Amino acid sequence: MQRTVTSRLGPALCALLLCVTARADGALHSLWELHGKHNTVYLLGSIHVLRQSDYPLAPAVLDAYSNVKSVLMEVNLEEITSAQVQAEMLTSAILPEGKTLPDVLGRERYERADALAHEVGVELSLFDQFAPWFAAEAISQQQLTQLGFQPEAGVEMYFMERARNDGKSVAGLETVHDQISLFQNMPLDTQAEYLVSSLEQAHDLPQEVDSMVHAWQRGDMLWFENQLQSELGRDPKLYQSVLGARNRKWVPKIEALLNDDKNYLVIVGTGHLAGPGSVIDLLKKDGIGATQR
């Protein structure tokens, strides 16, 4: 599950590596409503990479979009096209001079990772100059691509294009730099463990992503909560840096939107909306109810 909920961290990283199926009225979606005095803020859970077959999006989701003037995402994807951001993303993916992936992993761990990578048809040596986190993300993205998942088919990309065509504003809850820093600031040994753990789960990825998409399509947040609890037990520090800490930073920004007089659609990874410490949970603790639609 590390490779499907906490991995695929965000649309910025998906772009570097390069919503919901319609259903009957009355079914739940990965969509919530918050009400201010003069406006509505919609929270939409996202999967950052999808298949074309996962479209069209549910009418409830499209209706929410039609009711807003502004869209907020984890990051403003338009930032990614700047030369400065592209250079920062590439720099963050490469190991410091004099270090290689075999050096960082050590002989025994590298041999284990290499064997696991071969099992899914990947030559690990292609990533010997790259940071372990990048190798993990790149290998997983390759697998997802083979399964038909593409960043350009993700929820954020879909709504960014629509907002651009419809003249709606797009902004980010954080910057691309913030997302890059999540991994760049991770100790290399922690990154190494992350890579090995990711490869150990590679064979289960096809089944996992299908289960995740199906849970997301039916708004099954208990499924996401159970998976995240498993992640919390496996690596609490990674869980907190990837989800918990970011949720706490986002909530005041979301709450501030409720003081406006225009409606907003806020799109974040669905894992950020599930379970204790989630955006939904933190909002409720602040006395702000969120109704799932």
pTM for the predicted model, two decimal places? 0.87
Contact between residue 61 and residue 44 where contact means Cβ atoms under 8 Å apart = yes
C-alpha 17/C-alpha 180 separation (Å) is: 13
pLDDT tens, the chain, 293 aa long: 444 444 444 555 555 444 333 333 446 899 999 999 999 999 999 998 999 999 999 999 999 999 999 999 999 888 877 888 888 888 899 999 999 999 999 999 999 999 999 999 999 999 999 999 999 999 999 999 999 998 789 999 999 999 999 999 999 999 988 888 888 888 999 899 989 988 998 888 888 899 999 999 999 999 999 988 876 656 777 778 788 999 999 999 999 999 999 999 999 999 999 999 999 999 999 999 999 99
- pLDDT of amino acid 8: 45
Q: Domain range spanning residue 180?
A: 2-292
56 upstream amide cis, omega within 30 of 0: yes
d(CA 212, CA 207): 9
SS3 28: coil
User: What confidence score (pLDDT) does residue 134 get?
Assistant: 93
Query: Domain count of the chain?
Result: 1
pLDDT at 77: 85
**pLDDT value for 12:** 54
By residue count, the chain amounts to 293
**Phi, psi at residue 32, to the nearest 5°?**
-130, 155
pLDDT tens-digit profile of 55-73?
Answer: 999 999 999 999 999 999 9
Give tens-digit pLDDT for 187-208: 999 899 989 988 998 888 888 8
Cα 213 from Cα 219, distance rounded (Å): 10
As to burial, measured by CB atoms within 10 angstroms (0-12 exposed, 13-18 middle, 19+ buried), residue 258 is middle
* Residue/partner pairs of 93-99 with CB below 8 Å, 24 or more apart: 93/16, 93/130, 93/131, 93/134, 94/129, 94/130, 94/131, 95/129, 95/130, 95/131, 99/188
Position 207 scores a pLDDT of 87
